[in-house]
Structure 1
Amino acid sequence: MSVDLPSPSLPSPASPEGGVARSSRRVMNLSHFLRQAARRFPTHIGFVDGPRTTTWAQMDARVDAMAAALAERGIGKGDRILVQSKNCLEMFESMFAAFRLGAVWVPTNFRQTPGEVAYLASASGATAMICHRDFPEHVAAVREATPSVETVIAIGEADFGPDYDGLVSGWLGRKAPVADVEHDDPCWFFFTSGTTGRPKAAVLTHGQMAFVVTNHLCDLMPGTTQADASLVVAPLSHGAGVHQLAQVARAVKTILMPSERFDAGEAWRLVEEWRVTNMFTVPTITKLLAEHPAVNQYDHSSLRYVIYAGAPMYREDQKRALKALGKVLVQYFGLGEVTGNITVLPPALHDPEDGPSVKLGTCGFERTGMQVQIQDAEGREVAPLETGEICVCGPAVFAGYYDNPEANAKSFRDGWFRTGDLGHMDAEGFVYITGRASDMYISGGSNVYPREVEEKMLTHPAVAEVAILGVPDRMWGEVGVAVCVLREGASVTEEELIQFLDGKVARYKLPRRIHFWDALPRSAYGKITKKMVREALAERGLLETDEARSA
């Protein structure tokens, strides 16, 4: 499999006379993290899913069984396994089963529509699918779009495939050979998007992810051991999955929430019951946790690290969280393409009171082993405090986008990955994000790319033109606001358009407000620019939601 990037330049193999010849860059198969935990702490609880607890030895044996069942169906090294599921033990195990075979784990955001997931199956070249029983429509859409998906396994009893746990029971005690892997062998397609709005598969590799796990443990959760416990409050398909992989590397037990709907009261109950020491969140969730009455009803003194990422956090929200939780907040800035490894702001640099020593607005300093550079349009490093594009290099940078040479050419320059975010760095090396080069906005920790939604909206017969922008919102950080121009003689209401979009895109991508104008502003060249639309929204007092204005 090629990611259409030039091969990294490696030292030439030494001659027999010169010493050991180097013919490959073999690395540990990431599934070995689970094997290590099972060997050292076989009877310790590794996973908590409601009333169901699983020890490390049990999980390791179950993963062996599922890997053997997949291998018997012809799934092997390099094959892509699409996974559509809410958080559960089986979903998490599927990661290690894929890794163990040398296959590629391709998780979806379970909230995506059947059509969106079908595109991911096609774009990844998937040949197998593991799907929760609640999503039969997704299986049907995938099968229609991608006939190469011949193997479908159901999590729970369903008529679209054999039951995951039934297969595990049948294959328990048997093992498939653990695949030998090299540094650049892919293990995970982390789907992200660009300015076109079409999802792209960022290729994560065994060697890269081993560094990412080490870096997470070093910079985000130093001192983590098997005595710790981690609560999951976000989908395991993306950043939370990376976080939990790092937990397995130190045999930290993982505790799931009982429902995909976030319940702050239940979260605090679980923190007390399991003596939770860390969790990965987004600012919206951190805010809900800190402001819920249950924060004072349950003992959360065990918490050491509440990690938030994915979006900026309002300073006032940060202050309230620090006062409620103590100095346990950890912020990091990172994209899927760099697997979260760009900057970190540790607990010691979070302070509930403003003062001369507090660096307001920073997302932290460079992660260990990573380098950040602020560059101008030509790729030259700019002076401290001068705004430019945030670029990064280091072992956490992904291998490239799968089967997308155009995106790779745009995203890399002279070995630097271009994040598309604008910002500056001070003289001490602290990074500040000041804007985005693209139109993407972040709502509740999820990236939203307006063009994808705009294209769907333009399929409505009444809509002639549309522009969608992210605007500040007190609860979600940002939400979408759409400005539409209707076709002559046509009519449609805001509610009707939202209903039209519902089911065509995931609900978190739906615009919060829709405004109808006679025309969209255009440049001298006749081009509709988001900058001019934003200025027009500001002039009309529409650049913030009511919640943001009342804050």
Structure 2
Amino acid sequence: MTPVSDRVMNLGHFLTQNARRLPDAPALIHGDHITTWAQMQARVGALAHALIHDHGLTKGDRVLVQSANCLQMLETMFACWRIGAVWVPANFRLSPDDLAYLAQSSGARAMFCGAQFPDHAAACAPHIPAIIPIGASDLGPDHDALIARHMGRMPPEAAMTRDDPAWFFYTSGTTGRPKAAVLTHGQMAFVVTNHLCDLMPGTTEQDASLVVAPLSHGAGIHALTQIARGVPTILPTGDRFDAGHLWALVERHRVSNMFTVPTILKLLVEDPSVARHDHSSLRYVIYAGAPMYRADQIRALQTLGPVLVQYFGLGEVTGNITVLPPAHHATDDASMRIGTCGLARTGMQVQVQDDQGAELPPGQTGEIAVTGPAVFAGYHDNPDANAKAFRDGWFLTGDLGHMDEQGFLYLTGRSSDMFISGGSNIHPREIEEKLLTHPDLSEAVVLGTPDPVWGEAGLAVCVPRPGHTPDPQAVLDWLAPRIAGYKRPKRLILWDSLPKSAYGKITRPMIRQALIERGEWPQAPG
């Protein structure tokens, strides 16, 4: 049967609803400045009018955004959606050349650029007709000036269908160039509903949410779910991570939920400031982007209580693959399925498949595939990537794992992380988990490196806990009875810290590059 209509709600309508129902309630709190829902709606309307009348933007046009977290960044999101344009946020830590690639690949017709990024604006200028600064700049009228000029104008919300693009979500690009995953209005409406259902049930305008990651990616998805329920969003002040400042905000605003990644959560719970501030208001501390090591999980639970929520998902599925709610977290190993990232999200189907696409039985390792309404519409202007990413309607994640009899999923690692030593497949994650149970180690990464005898051999790069300097060989000797001999790293080296991506993740390509730069990467045999 042909659908009578495929029209869906414009995502910008979430803001309209809040401005009607909660006009004087806080939408965004940044330092001592509070913006209400009515104020934000008026500013978004004026900005949308400016995009149409000053810059000629129409439905389907892409708008690139280079900005640190701020009110104006969220306003660009809703102004784009109101007129049917596509929001294209960039990780603000990208280099100017990297951003210029995004400008070209997205086909953006306008760009909002923070005044503190003049080199980025210059790099993109040859590719984008209009560049609008956020903050005072020599580039012309800025974001706030446009709003002031058009205040009082409110263009109607563009009519949208399920598959109309809303957001180009750029992958982090750990291999090759970043790709633009196309997130649509209908898909994102499901994602918002699913996040509220699975990650933070019972969320209302009485809650408060703290932003501790770039709004260009997962934190932006999380912020949208808060906006859907009229929850005020709290933005930290300052440009650098400050655990003490974040815990003070939790106490001051009675923050009830936050979204972060395991490495940042680890820093938060290990900082002494956590004991100086009241965090009893927290109901959901959501972590994603990478699995959390068991030792870090236990410490977070002991420090914060039963508030942890893990989800597994990629930008292409907007986080909607599995969820592990508070009820399935425990400090007692006997009470928890250690290593699981949870069960399939509501309305989504997850399989572990072999190379031909057949579903594997419980306990067998294969590639994780997913289907359901949260799966994106494909990569923008990239048919080759789409052909590789989909098989028989399933999105192939590139992640390896297995399921147990009850449907709990366990990640083994990325297929690209695996290395082969003496003919045996080795997945680094298992080794890292064992290393992090050593009392003197804080962080650990294992990579496969060239080896003249075995083809590849494991190299462990570890960070000691403060005040500890373990002997590398002693750590390897300690590991010996705890893991199969063929999996044991051949070498272990200690660093003061590990490099992390702009999203706070530890990535193997970055570790490999650092090893090369330090002269510690083995030469390939021959």
Q: Deviations over 1:254-312 (max 9, x none)?
A: 00111231110000000000000000010011111111111111111100000000011
Task: Call closer, same or farther: CA 1:133–1:184 in 2, change over 3 Å.
Answer: same
Which consecutive residues of structure 2, in runs of 5 or more, have no partner in the other structure? 419-427, 430-446, 448-455, 466-500
Task: Call closer, same or farther: CA 1:473–1:83 in 2, change over 3 Å.
Answer: farther
Q: Deviations over 1:347-382 (max 9, x none)?
A: 111111211x31000000000000100000000000
Say whether the 8 Å CA contact 2:133–2:142 is kept in structure 1. Answer: yes
Instruction: Tell me the distance in 2 between the aligned counterparts of 1:330 and 1:414.
Output: 31
Identity of aligned residues (%): 63
**Residue in structure 1 matched with residue 416 of structure 2 by the alignment:** 438
**Residue in structure 2 matched with residue 277 of structure 1 by the alignment:** 256
Task: Call closer, same or farther: CA 1:250–1:159 in 2, change over 3 Å.
Answer: same
- Secondary structure at 1:513's aligned position in 2? helix
Task: Call closer, same or farther: CA 1:250–1:470 in 2, change over 3 Å.
Answer: farther
**Residue in structure 2 matched with residue 61 of structure 1 by the alignment:** 42
Instruction: Tell me the distance in 2 between the aligned counterparts of 1:88 and 1:471.
Output: 39
Q: For residue 287 of structure 1, what is the amino acid of its counterpart?
A: K
Say whether the 8 Å CA contact 1:195–1:439 is kept in structure 2. Answer: no
Task: Call closer, same or farther: CA 1:206–1:71 in 2, change over 3 Å.
Answer: same
Query: Is residue 198 of structure 1 aligned with residue 177 of structure 2?
Result: yes
Instruction: Tell me the distance in 2 between the aligned counterparts of 1:439 and 1:329.
Output: 27
**Residue in structure 2 matched with residue 382 of structure 1 by the alignment:** 360
Task: Call closer, same or farther: CA 1:472–1:186 in 2, change over 3 Å.
Answer: farther
Task: Call closer, same or farther: CA 1:300–1:475 in 2, change over 3 Å.
Answer: farther
Aligned residue among 5, 12, 19 for 2:2 = 12
Instruction: Tell me the distance in 2 between the aligned counterparts of 1:203 and 1:96.
Output: 17
**1:338 Cα deviation after fit:** 0.2
Query: Is residue 265 of structure 1 aligned with residue 255 of structure 2?
Result: no
Dislocated runs of 4+, deviation >2 Å: 193-196, 438-442, 469-476, 506-519
**Residue in structure 2 matched with residue 415 of structure 1 by the alignment:** 393
**Residue in structure 1 matched with residue 201 of structure 2 by the alignment:** 222
**1:241 Cα deviation after fit:** 0.1
**Residue in structure 2 matched with residue 354 of structure 1 by the alignment:** 333
Structure number with greater CO (CA < 8 Å, separation at least 6) is 1
Instruction: Tell me the distance in 2 between the aligned counterparts of 1:261 and 1:475.
Output: 23
Query: Mapping of 1:16-415 within 5 angstroms?
Result: 22=4, 24-72=5-53, 73-144=55-126, 146=127, 149-192=128-171, 196-355=175-334, 357-415=335-393
Q: For residue 89 of structure 2, what is the amino acid of its counterpart?
A: P
Say whether the 8 Å CA contact 1:87–1:260 is kept in structure 2. Answer: no
- Secondary structure at 2:320's aligned position in 1? coil
Instruction: Tell me the distance in 2 between the aligned counterparts of 1:105 and 1:339.
Output: 15
TM-score by length of 1: 0.78
Instruction: Tell me the distance in 1 between the aligned counterparts of 2:2 and 2:299.
Output: 56
**1:473 Cα deviation after fit:** 4.9
Instruction: Tell me the distance in 2 between the aligned counterparts of 1:408 and 1:27.
Output: 25
Aligned residue among 423, 426, 435 for 2:404 = 426
Q: Deviations over 1:20-52 (max 9, x none)?
A: xx2x40000000001111111000011011221
Task: Call closer, same or farther: CA 1:352–1:516 in 2, change over 3 Å.
Answer: closer
Say whether the 8 Å CA contact 2:515–2:521 is kept in structure 1. Answer: no
**Residue in structure 2 matched with residue 494 of structure 1 by the alignment:** none
**1:152 Cα deviation after fit:** 1.0
Instruction: Tell me the distance in 1 between the aligned counterparts of 2:250 and 2:90.
Output: 27
Instruction: Tell me the distance in 1 between the aligned counterparts of 2:328 and 2:303.
Output: 17
Task: Call closer, same or farther: CA 1:201–1:350 in 2, change over 3 Å.
Answer: same
**1:193 Cα deviation after fit:** 5.2
Instruction: Tell me the distance in 2 between the aligned counterparts of 1:253 and 1:470.
Output: 45
| Alpha-carbon RMSD | 2.7
Count of residues in correspondence between the two structures: 452
**1:317 Cα deviation after fit:** 0.8
- Secondary structure at 1:199's aligned position in 2? coil
**1:435 Cα deviation after fit:** 2.0
